[in-house]
Structure 1
Amino acid sequence: MNDIDQIARGEFLKQTNGLAADPYILQQLDYDLRTSGFAGKTNIPQLIYLSAITAAFEKPVSVVIKGESGSGKSFALQSGLRYLPSTAYQEVHGMSAKALLYAAKSELKHKMLIIQEAAGFNADGWAYLRQLLSEGRLTYKTVVQTKDGPAGKELPTVEGPVGLFMTTTQNRLHPEDETRFLSVYVDQSREQIRRAIMSYGDAESTARATGLVAEFHALFEYVRSGPKSVVIPYRRRLLELFPDSYPRVLRDIPKVMALIEAHALLHQELRAKKGGAVEAHPEDYAAVHKLIGDALAVGLQAIVPPHIVEVVRAVEAMHELLGEAVSQVEVAQYLDREQSAVSRNLRTAVGEGYVENRNPGQGKEHAYVPGKRSLPTKEVLPHPDRLFGTPARDTERSFGPA
């Protein structure tokens, strides 16, 4: 790093106004989000910020945010993006598959690509994304007409590495795509809807729109402009504790390690250095475990997301009470939930064997009974206490009301 870069980096550090030396950076983000009007858990915006740091790595962490229409997917994503400088990502709306092929001029290298709603992508689009995410670059040959007839022409290469943030209403993507992401669900509970409703009454939070945004922008630039080498002293022990019964875990492990490294870099002002590399602490793993422990388990089907558990438990309870199959309408009434959401969640529950539909077929009134498969509750990402033998130092601090 030359003298000019050192000076610029020093300016970024000053502009953090002490945030870079705070031991609870993600908790500061949580507090700033909640006091700015964000209702409910802030795990998704926190994950967006932390994952964006990995764009500087050779294998960035990509995240897909799932939930029904109007459930707050885009709001959660945008809330996280607000704390990133605009140079950290490239946002597109309604991008077509072919548009991705011509994205070389967008200079996506070491950035996060933002695509709103995965449903708008066709099979070709997903194929291009797979190549870009897996190989770190996208190449494509097309056919053009010349005076001598059709001829092959190679389009400018879209250079990576690139990470991806995407939203979708689908409970599950194609298996080839699902494994390339960390999948997180927005909270779709009635309690969360109530919290969101009540947030409109907090004029003070709405007025406090800027908060620590500038400081988080400066912190991101400070981390991005510096060395990226991180040593994880407990890497081998962590690998020993990963389950070997899920082939997909081989794709998830690099994501976990990248996020640990990103969290350590975020707190590098408080971390020891070893041979010029930042040394990750147990607190870095504890923070990552809290953010993605459930997401990894859901991705491996070791646990089931709450909105699917809800319909499974409803079918079980109603079947035990009535002694017969129940309809979609009856489940929706029992839960006092919108039928379209209940229908989608029941379809997923049936597909995974937790619920059985005894009257399948289009146009028929479906008849649901408990399935043959029990809801799993397995640990995938080991708890910090299990990894370290003793509790890791508390990574949380209360900054205000929950």
Structure 2
Amino acid sequence: MDIQNIKSQLTITEVLAYYNLQIKKKHVNCPFHEDKTPSMQVFLDSNSVYCYSGNCSKSGKPIDVIDFIMHKEQITKHEAIKKAASFLHQDTKENTIQNTNPLNKTFSILKNQLTRSRNATAYLQTRGLSKLKAVGSNHRSGNDKIQYKYPHLKNCLVFPLKDSKNQIVSFYGRSFKNDIRNTHFYTSNRQGLYPEYPNLETHHLILTESIIDAATLVLHAKLPKHTHVLACYGTNGFTKSHTEAIKQLKQLQIISIFFDGDTAGHKASVKLQSQLQQAFTTLTIQIIDTPKDEDINSLWINNESQELFTHYLQTKIPAAEKQPADNTKPTITLTIKGSVKHLGDSLKVTLQSQIEQKSIIQKLDVYDFTALQKHAKDASKRLELSEDLILKAWQDYVPTLEQTQTKPTTPQKKPLEKATQEQCISFLKDPNLLQRINIAIEKVGVVGEENTRLLLFIIATSYQSKQPLHGLIQGSSGSGKTKLLQSIYNLIPKEDSKSFTRVTESSFYNYNEESLRHKLLCFEDIDGLKEEALLALRELQSNGKLISSTSQKQESGKIQSVERLVKGPIASLSCTTKGDYYEDNISRCFVVAVDETAAQTRKIINYQNQLASGNINLKEATKTKYFIANCLRQLQPCQVVNPYATAIQLPQNIHKLRRLHSMYQVLVAQITYLHQYQRKKDTQGRLITTPQDLQYACDILLDSILLKIDELDGSLRQFYEALKTHFKPKGETYTFNRFEIMQKTKISKTQLHRNLNKLVELEYIQQYGYANRGYTYKIVHWDQYDVLKDKIQKDLQAQINTIKS
């Protein structure tokens, strides 16, 4: 062995340990001078030491393993080389191959690091392998470059895997941390064998289940001459490299399979015995009868007996008697689970493959051969059949799959019994339909707010329209806006509605093309949606579709841009606590404010008391939900024509009048749609709007129109009106503090602070004083809100009266 090979294989830590020099914090006491404080530093990367003491004759230059031996033994360099070679138990003339393999240097560093890891050395000791030399450690405080290159080998004992030329070609890592489920790791493109390729004179080959077991046999068993050990990489880890190595052993007579004594080990042993017997018919293939729940390493730890290994290596389970050749191939039963999706360049199916009592269910794309091979490998282990046989069965089944392909189906309307249909149609023919619907909404738990709840119901039912409506429910925290939304949502057929508490940024773009088409979407807290999700929602509301460009990997591996389409239109209901909600969103919606007045609070508390005392018939509420949903199922999509569309003019000072006017026309059409069993049709089959429909729309929409005009949002307007009601009798110059307001309005401190600041900002009230002494307030703008409301109502009513006359 030449000098370079010795330096690459003999570690400085082994040399220091030989001379009883203990490494502490990368330093040792220098043996070449009196050294009370360790002054010699150990460099694992370069496999050398360096003394920094000015009193040392060897100071000033690095000392490698051969020079260290030469100086310590006070011998010649030639003698030091021989001594170093003896450490490796090899003759210096045995190997003259130049060591150009970078993995040898890496492993040398890992060997040097072993003594620095208490966890690694302790683990080896618990496994009875503390005297093992061909092992390294890749712990967290080790070499940074190696940590970076082999991150999956962190906190692992590292074993070298070698090729037929005895060169390291990859690594195996065994975790010495107990908090990791997976304890086995390999470097990418695993190759090579452990501990090395067998000698060509090998007569007896022992196959172990793991590398730890192989190391145990090599270290502790009295193996006869011409006996060699090879580790498999688990129960299914007998590789092509093992087969090729065995083929080179012309003098081989016996192969012993020494796997674990558990169910998996016994099963794998029998399978491997059969595989080897078919491949090497002239050899004796025997199975070692390992005790139950034991393995090679545990046998040594529990007994520490070399004679025990000798005993087990002499016992065997005879190979199964050869049966007459059976040319009948096993039959694999294939069963489709769920639907078959044919997408042009892919054919996807969930398939159950079964033979006798063994089966496996897998999601397959039978057009993707590369992925199919990987799935066949998994199925092979489960079914104990060859991968080729499983692949052939799958591919032979493709024509059947192509004929049974299914297309995504949209949910169908729930079929109803004839008596139920007649009852629903009778309800829809009632001249007081909207009043009866309003009563039904009250039965499911919404008290008060008659116009608000009816408007929300009409908006929700517009999902079948080509131009659906959208509603935004404003209210402070705890005002009951979510309850209002959920009550309306529960009246809509489940196949036509979706409710969300959270929406991720790109989730709308990932729906199937028809998943949102003509659906009602409800958002319990739209304030939590991020801008990307809000943008998608606005596009669905305005344009009725989403078109996105995304990258997709083709079967060839090439990345190609593709378009994804998600179709609308949708109707929507949302809740928000923000009065100044994002302008682009609020302008697309009818805005309704939750009634937060004291009178409404008394109604809600009374309902809650009735509910708690058992006076509310919950079964009746459930029955009402199903009945209204069934009524909506009886409505058929149809066009509406409004002959009075030009006769109604909304107030001209409304913000974004064009959009509101369009929404108003759709609301009228939706009211006509709900009355389709009562309205006449024109010659084209279109429903004809009546003046009564206009009356309904104006009555229901009045508060929402006022919110469009008002610069105060709904809850703020209610708060301001309460202030005016309470303090106007005291005079328009009366000043008040926050405690008077809280006593009158009964709102929370946070909401009070927010409302006062907003009114001061808008110059409706004026603030006096200082924060440390307490502020006082005075109303300085007494607007005529009630007068404005009355004027708009009278103006709209006059227009309707003109139509009726």
What range describes the TM-score normalised by the shorter chain of this pair?
Answer: 0.7 to 0.9
Structure 2: unaligned runs, 5 residues or longer? 1-411
Change in Cα spacing, 1:160 to 1:194, as seen in structure 2 (3 Å) is same
Structure 1 stretches lacking a partner, 5+ long: 394-402
Deviations 1:83-128 (A, max 9, x none): 2101221111111222223233671111111111121012222222
Change (3 A) 1:360 1:389: farther
Mapped to 2, the partners of 1:388 and 1:321 lie a distance apart of 40
The letter for the 2-side match of 1:197 is: I
Identify the structure with bigger relative contact order (alpha carbons < 8 Å, sequence gap 6+). 1
- Pair 311,236 (structure 1): closer, same or farther in 2 beyond 3 Å: closer
Letter in 1 for 2:752: V
Alpha-carbon separation, structure 1, partners of 2:549 and 2:464: 28
TM, length-normalised to structure 2: 0.43
Asked if residue 249 in structure 1 is aligned to residue 249 in structure 2, the reply is no
Deviation at 1:41, TM superposition (A): 2.4
CA distance in 1, matches of 2:804, 2:758: 37
Deviates more, 1:372-381 or 1:348-357: 372-381
Q: Shift in Å at residue 348 of structure 1?
A: 3.7
Question: 1:335 — aligned with what?
Answer: 745
Q: How does 1:295-314 map to 2 (within 5 A)?
A: 295-301=704-710, 305=714, 307-311=716-720, 314=723
Report the CA distance between 1:359 and its aligned residue: 6.9
Q: How far is 1:392 from its partner?
A: 6.3
Is 85-94 or 138-147 further displaced after alignment?
A: 138-147
Does the alignment pair 1:344 with 2:725?
A: no
Kindly provide the CA deviation profile for residues 208-234 of structure 1, in whole angstroms up to 9, marking residues without a partner as x.
2234333322221222x34x2112121
Which amino acid is 1:179 matched to? S
Answer yes or no: is the 8 Å Cα contact 2:522–2:573 preserved in 1.
yes
Q: Which residue of 1 aligns with 2:573?
A: 165
Match of 1:74 in 2: 482
Segment of structure 1 superposing worse, 45-54 or 352-361: 352-361
The answer to whether structure 1 residue 293 and structure 2 residue 705 are counterparts is: no
Q: 1:44 aligns with which of 443, 452, 463?
A: 452
- Deviation track 1:110-157 (CA, whole Å, cap 9, x = no partner) reads 111111112101222222222221111122335679999996745632
Q: Which has the larger Rg?
A: 2
Identity %: 20
The verdict on how the C-alpha distance between 1:375 and 1:144 changes in structure 2, with shifts beyond 3 A counting, is farther
Deviations along 1:350-390, one digit per CA (max 9) or x if unpaired, are 344422445799x9955533244735425557755312326
Q: 2:344 corresponds to which residue?
A: none
Q: Is 1:117–2:525 an aligned residue pair?
A: yes
Q: What is the rounded CA distance, in whole Å, between the counterparts of 2:461 and 2:535 in structure 1?
A: 25
Provide the residue aligned with 1:399 in structure 2.
none
Q: What's 2:616 paired with?
A: 205
Deviates more, 1:32-41 or 1:49-58: 32-41
8 A contact 2:545–2:566 mirrored in 1: yes
Partner SS state of residue 520, structure 2 = strand
Q: TM-score, normalised by structure 1?
A: 0.82
Is it true that 1:280 corresponds to 2:689 in the alignment? yes
| Greater share of strand | 2
Give the aligned partner of residue 258 of structure 1.
Answer: 666
| Code of the aligned partner of 1:386 | A
Q: Does structure 1 conserve the Cα–Cα contact (< 8 Å) formed by 2:459 and 2:468?
A: yes
Q: Distance in 1 between matches of 2:550 and 2:770?
A: 44
Task: Please list, as runs of the form range in 1=range in 2, the aligned pairs for 1:119-158 lying within 5 A after superposition.
Answer: 119-142=527-550, 153-154=561-562, 156-158=564-566
Q: Which structure dedicates a bigger proportion of its chain to helix?
A: 1
Q: Distance in 2 between matches of 1:103 and 1:88?
A: 15
Contact 2:650–2:796 under 8 Å retained in 1: no
**646, 655, 667: which one pairs with 1:236?**
646
CA apart distance, 1:39: 2.0
| Contact 1:102/1:155 (8 A) holds in 2 | no
* Distance of aligned partners of 1:178 and 1:273 in 2 relative to their CA distance in 1, 3 Å threshold: same
Q: Specify the code of the residue in structure 2 equivalent to 1:185.
A: A
CA contact (8 A) 1:325 1:367 kept: yes
The letter of the residue matching 1:345 is N
Distance 2:581 2:793 in 1: 22
Q: In structure 2, how many angstroms separate the alpha carbons of the residues matched to 1:381 and 1:151?
A: 61
Tell me which residue corresponds to 2:294. none
Deviations 1:225-282, CA, capped at 9 Å, x for gaps: 34x21121211111xx223333511001121111111111111222121121111111
Of 164, 172, 179 in structure 1, the residue corresponding to residue 587 of structure 2 is: 179
- Distance in 1 separating the partners of 2:780 and 2:560: 54
Q: Which of 609, 613, 627 is the equivalent residue of 1:215?
A: 627
CA distance in 2, matches of 1:176, 1:270: 37
What is the distance in 2 between the residues matched to 1:128 and 1:103? 12
The amino acid of 2:627's aligned partner reads: E
8 A contact 2:672–2:679 mirrored in 1:
yes
Deviations 1:289-316, CA, capped at 9 Å, x for gaps: 2222111221222887475243355279
Structure 1 range deviating more: 9-18 or 141-150: 141-150
Tell me the distance in 2 between the aligned counterparts of 1:167 and 1:327.
Answer: 31
Give the C-alpha shift of residue 204 in structure 1.
3.6
Deviates more, 1:189-198 or 1:381-390: 381-390
Structure 2: distance between partners of 1:162 and 1:364: 53
Letter of the structure 1 residue corresponding to residue 741 of structure 2? V
Determine the C-alpha separation between the residues in 1 that align with 2:675 and 2:417.
Answer: 16
Aligned residues, how many?
Answer: 382
Displacement, 1:37? 4.1
Q: Displacement, 1:317?
A: 5.8
Match of 1:56 in 2: 464
2:444, 2:624 within 8 Å by CA — same for their partners in 1? Answer: no
Which residue identity is paired with 2:427? Answer: L
Structure 2 Cα separation of the partners of residues 153 and 184 of structure 1:
42
What SS does the aligned partner of 2:622 have? coil
Deviation at 1:180, TM superposition (A): 0.7
Provide the C-alpha distance between the structure 1 equivalents of 2:469 and 2:627, rounded to a whole number of angstroms: 23
AA at the equivalent of 1:298 = L
RMSD: 3.6
From 369, 385, 389, the counterpart of 2:797:
385
The 3-state SS of whatever aligns with 2:438 is: helix
Matched residues in 1 for 2:674 and 2:532: separation? 37
1:21 to 429, 442, 451: 429
CA contact (8 A) 1:55 1:162 kept: yes
Match of 2:498 in 1: 90
Q: What is the deviation of 1:200?
A: 2.5
SS in 2 for 1:214: helix
Distance 1:136 1:348 in 2: 36
